[in-house]
Amino acid sequence: MSILNVEHLSHDFGGREIFRDVSFRMLKGEHIGLIGANGEGKSTFFRIVTGSLEPDAGKIEWAKNIKIGYLDQHAVLEAGMTIRDVLQSAFASLFDEEAKMNKIYEQMGDPEMADKMDQMLEETATIQDYLNMHDFYMIDAKVDEVARAFGLVDLGLDKDVTELSGGQRTKILLAKLLLEKPDILLLDEPTNYLDAEHIFWLQRYLQEYENAFVLISHDVPFLNSVINIIYHVEDCELARYVGDYEKFQEVYEMKKAQKQAAFDRQQKEIADLKDFVARNKARVATRNMAQSRQKKLDNMEMIELTKEKPKPEFRFEVARTPSRVLFETKDLVIGYDEPLSRPLHFMMERNTKIVLTGSNGIGKSTLLKSLLGQIQPIFGSVEQGDFLEIGYFEQEMAPDIDTTCLEELWQEFPSWTQYQVRSALAKCGLTTNHIESKVRVLSGGEQAKVRLAKLMGRPSNLLVLDEPTNHLDVDAKNELKRALQEYKGSILMVCHEPEFYEGLATEVRSCKDWALREE
C-alpha cells in the first residue's frame, strides 16, 4: 500500500534549482534513508511533503487519514513550557476529548438538560470507550517510560524547556514525536546532539518500528543499521535503491561506471561522425552520406554525466609553539545560574588531542566556554598558557545572521580580496551559488563549512571544536578527520561519534567523572 506519492516535483530556492521533475513513493512499513551531500535539498523535501513549503510544480499525495510525525532539525520549543508539558502535548487530542466529556458531565447537572440525558450518556460513553482504547489513563506511565529512556527524568520533568541545552531540547522533541506514534515518521538528523547511549536506544526503536519512516542522517553506521530503502538526492534528481547504505554504494558506483563508459563510447562516436561529415560534405559522391551522418548527430540524445560536486579540502594553519601547559584549572565549578559540576581539576598539555564525551546537558559546552573565558566560573579559576592562538568552532551559528557567505567571511578577514574570500569558501566545498546566498538560507552542513572556512583563515595552535561533525555530509566528515589528524597543533573537542574520533584522539575524557548530574 502506497502511503506517499510524489510526482513530477520541481522546485527552485533562492535562485538555485533544487529538484527537477523528481518522483518519490513510500510503501507501508518501508524504512527509508534520504541521503545526499549538504545543500542538495533533503530538508527542503521534508518541508514540501509536509506542506510547509509550496513547490513550483508537482503533485504530492498522501494516503487518507495518515498521521505524520516530523522532527525538524531547526524546531524550537515555546518558553514557559515544562518538559512534562511538551511530552504530554503528544496526547493533546485525547486531553481535548476528556475536556469535552467533562463539559458534558457538568451539563448533566443542569435541570434544563434533563430531556437530553440519554443522548449525553451515550456521547460520554463513546468518548470513554475512545479514551480507553487509546490508553488515556496510561499517559503518565508512557511519558515516564520514554522520558527515562532519553534521560529526561534526571533533568526533572517540571524544568522549563528554555533552561535546557540544544541537545536536551532535541531529545524532548524526539521523545514527544515517538509518544505520538504517527503512521509515518520524518526524522531530520535526529542523532545530532544525542549522546551514544540515546543514539543506541533510538537505533533499537527504529529497527523494531512497525510503521514507515524517512530518515535524513549523515551518521553512516546508524543509518545503515535501520533502513532498507535509500533515496539519493544528487544534481536535482532523486533515485531509489533497494537495500541498506552499503548496497547503495555498491550499486551507485556500478551505475556511475556504466554511465561513464556509455558517455565515452558516445563521445568517440560523435568525434567519428563529425570527422566523416567534415571530410565528405563537400564531395558530390559522398555528400548524401555526410548529410545522413549529420542528421544522426543532430538527433542523437546526448548522455550527460552527473556534475561532480566540489570536494572540501580542509587545512588548518599552525601558529607559533605555545607553552607546555595550555589550560589548567583549580577547583573549577562551571555553570550559569546553578553549578553543573563538582570542583574539577582540568589540565591540557601541548601536542594532545582530547575528546570530551558525556550526556547532553552534562556541561561539555559550558566547560569549553569556561576554559576560553567566555563565561565566568561559579567558583575556582582557569589559567591559560602563554602564546595561545585559539580557533573556536561553536555548535551553531546565530539564527538571525543576515549576511551572505561572502560578507560573513569578509567581515572576519577585511584585508582579503574578493578572490581570496571566494577561494577560501570554495575550498570548503561551497559553490558560487552558496557563496552568494544568505547564510540563514543554507543547510546546517553548509553553515558549518562557512565556520570551518573562518578557522582555516587564521593560524592557530589550539583548535577548540564543539560537535564539529553535526550536519556535515560523509565526504566533508572524512576530509575533516583527515585534516585534524594532520594538524600539528593541539585539539580539544566535544564529539558523540566514536567512528570520527577513533584514530584521531590521543585521549578521551568522560565528563561524568565531575558532573553533578549522573548519566
pLDDT at 1 over 70: no
Half-sphere exposure of 233 (CA within 13 A, CB side): 27
Nearest of 397, 372, 413 to residue 467 by alpha carbon: 397
pLDDT of residue 46: 92
Which of 154-158, 230-234, 293-297 is the least confident region? Answer: 154-158
- Per-residue pLDDT, 519: 47
Q: Among 46-50, 79-83, 249-253, 407-411, name the one with the lowest average pLDDT.
A: 79-83
Backbone angles phi, psi at 382, to 5 degrees: -125, 130
Q: Are 463 and 484 in contact (CB under 8 A)?
A: yes
pTM: 0.78
Quote the CA–CA distance of 72 and 49 in Å, as a whole number.
Answer: 13
Confidence grade of residue 442 (pLDDT, cut at 50, 70, 90): confident
Q: In whole angstroms, what is the distance from residue 104 CA to residue 234 CA? A: 56
Give residues with Cβ within 8 angstroms of 246, minimum separation 6.
224
C-alpha distances in Å from residue 176, one per residue of 180, 193, 194, 361: 6, 16, 15, 18
Q: What is the pLDDT of residues 97-142, one digit of tens each?
A: 889 988 888 888 777 777 778 888 888 899 988 888 888 888 888 8
Helix (H) or strand (E) holding 501: helix 498-501
What are the pLDDT digits (tens) for 69-103? 888 756 667 778 889 888 988 888 888 888 998 88
Asked if the model's pLDDT at residue 482 lies above 80, the reply is: yes
Residue 158, classed as helix, strand or coil, is coil
Distance between CA atoms of 340 and 363, rounded to whole angstroms? 6
Instruction: Over range 351-367, report the average pLDDT.
Output: 88
Query: Which residues, in sequence order, are CB contacts of 260 under 8 Å at separation 6+?
Result: 305
Does residue 333 have a pLDDT over 50?
A: yes
Q: How far is CA 182 from its chain centroid?
A: 21
How far, in Å, are 195, 324, 455 from residue 361 at the CA level? 10, 31, 26
Strand partners, 61: 5
Tell me, what amino acid is at 480? Answer: L
Place of cell 532498507: 228
Mean pLDDT taken over the chain? 88
| Mean of pLDDT values over 476-481 | 94
491/500 Cα distance (integer angstroms): 14
Q: What is the mean pLDDT of residues 294-323?
A: 88
Name residue 406's amino acid: L
pLDDT in tens, 238-275: 999 999 888 999 999 999 899 999 999 999 999 998 98
H/E run at residue 231: strand 229-234
| pLDDT of the residue at 400 | 67
**In terms of pLDDT, which residue wins out, 149 or 372?**
372
Do 317 and 463 contact (CB within 8 A), yes or no? no
Q: Do 16 and 437 meet the contact criterion of CB atoms below 8 Å apart?
A: yes
**C-alpha grid cell, residue 199:** 543514539
